[in-house]
Structure 1
């Protein structure tokens, strides 16, 4: 979620809109979409690890396999917000910041999600593997093996 906020602020700044209650409602809507995209990626990576792939192989396979669902979710939501962001019609200027904030936040957070989540997963996975090796070596030393 924190990765969506710079996109929201940047899109509002570029379009000349202010941060108001309606744009904050759009930011809250982003939480579900951004978190879902991250969960889809991590869950499939865990599944690949359970199936016996190495850490790097699991991250690469899950990145390739889950790229389309993540992009489809992002693009369909962003494209659906274009009429709202354009502000066409009577009273539409009230809802325009919501569309702008959702589109900007989605685009920014998706790019960050597709890059940052695999990197962080790999770093944490490598640390876990080191700890397990160290623990195994300590247990072997204690047992006199």
Structure 2
């Protein structure tokens, strides 16, 4: 289900963005969310179960959403005529609050599930631990890695476009 979800999200994003590069950049945040999950499992001595796997699927959606928010606003600023680096900085500044608000709300919403000790808590504890560990790592990575990778890919694309434009200009 997780792989199917990732593939479907990638296909939808590829059709919406009109290229294969931007969805790939967005999907780079997913493995880091998973690394946060496994660190949380290690520190809390939790095992992978059906409930924690449901948390991983939920986490994947939140991680992708955060990266899309950041990348989409960067595209919007670039389409409005902002230079690349300025668009990335403004997108990071303007989208930091919405990303942190949703992440913080989800993180603290999962806190009672992760720390509860009542009857049946052993069923829901892995879900809270999964979400909290994954959100902690993936949010930091999304805010740093996604703009950096986008900048690298976009600079290469702009350089290639400039070379093609120079060649076409010389041929005319």
Q: 1:83 aligns with which of 112, 119, 123?
A: 112
Q: 1:71 aligns with which of 84, 100, 105?
A: 100
Partner of 2:162: 133
Q: 1:101 aligns with which of 115, 123, 130?
A: 130
* CA–CA distance in structure 1, aligned partners of residues 126 and 106 of structure 2: 15
Q: 2:44 aligns with which of 8, 12, 15?
A: 15
Q: Which segments of structure 1 move beyond 3 Å, counting only runs of 4 or more? A: none
- Between structure 1 and structure 2, the one with the greater Rg is 1
Partner of 2:86: 57
Unaligned 5+ runs, structure 2: 1-29
Q: 1:40 aligns with which of 69, 86, 89?
A: 69
Question: Higher relative contact order by CA 8 Å / sep ≥ 6: 1 or 2?
Answer: 1
Instruction: State TM-score, norm by structure 1.
Output: 0.96
Backbone CA RMSD of aligned residues: 0.7
Q: Does 1:124 align with 2:153?
A: yes
* CA–CA distance in structure 2, aligned partners of residues 27 and 137 of structure 1: 48
Shift of 1:140: 1.1
Aligned length: 143
